[in-house]
């Protein structure tokens, strides 16, 4: 195959995880400057995100507004953050954007100081978990992406038509 797009992670993970490692991605890499336009593939129109980008719903919504119907999140969440936030954030991004979310996740021990949570997942546009690969070992998983579900969810609740960017600011009373 050919490379049809590339994305440089916009949000770097600089955090001191409670009961986990201190990670400073900014000490060894630089962030991208902007999102990459969604790319047409046989699976759908894919919006590209990476790991910590998951915590920024504005980026996911920008990809939806640019035409994405699938958003990917290859990730290496730590075990503490994975247990607390992984599934709920993936489901939230799927619900907010009405997109399929495909999240491949590293699993297991990288070193004596670093373990990844695992649980690669596929979430449908209604927020239902279609696939959870678990957190015990590496695996290869498959899920059907049904864009009929996407169309149904979006027609029953057309949130993109109800966006009000003109109202999304704070004013003094």
Region class of 112: left (phi > 0), else alpha (psi between -120 and 50), else beta: alpha
Whether 68 shows a pLDDT value over 90: the answer reads: yes
In terms of Cα–Cα distance, which of 130, 168, 133, 158 is closest to 64? 158
In terms of Cα–Cα distance, which of 73, 60, 33 is closest to 159? 60
Q: Measured on CA atoms in the order 136, 49, 68, 153, is the torsion positive or negative?
A: positive
Kindly indicate the confidence band of residue 86, based on its pLDDT and cuts at 50, 70 and 90: very high
Q: Return the number of other C-beta atoms located less than 10 Å from residue 92's C-beta.
A: 17
Kindly indicate the confidence band of residue 150, based on its pLDDT and cuts at 50, 70 and 90: very high
Summarize the confidence of residues 24-41 as an average pLDDT: 92
pTM over 0.85: yes
């Amino acid at each position: 195959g050919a490379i049809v797009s590339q994305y440089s992670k916009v949000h770097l993970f600089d955090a001191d995880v409670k009961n986990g490692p201190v990670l400073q991605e900014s000490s060894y890499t630089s962030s991208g400057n902007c999102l990459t336009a969604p790319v047409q593939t046989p699976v759908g129109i894919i919006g590209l995100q990476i790991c910590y980008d998951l915590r920024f719903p504005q980026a996911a919504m920008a990809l939806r507004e640019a035409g994405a119907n699938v958003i990917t999140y290859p990730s290496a969440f730590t075990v503490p953050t994975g247990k607390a936030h992984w599934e709920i954030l993936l489901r939230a991004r799927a619900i907010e954007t009405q997109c399929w979310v495909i999240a491949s996740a590293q699993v297991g021990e990288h070193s004596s100081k670093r373990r990844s949570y695992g649980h690669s997942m596929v979430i449908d546009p209604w927020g239902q978990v279609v696939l959870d690969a678990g957190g015990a070992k590496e695996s290869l998983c498959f899920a059907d992406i049904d864009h009929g579900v996407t169309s149904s969810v979006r027609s029953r609740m057309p949130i993109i038509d109800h966006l009000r960017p003109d109202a999304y600011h704070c004013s003094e009373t």
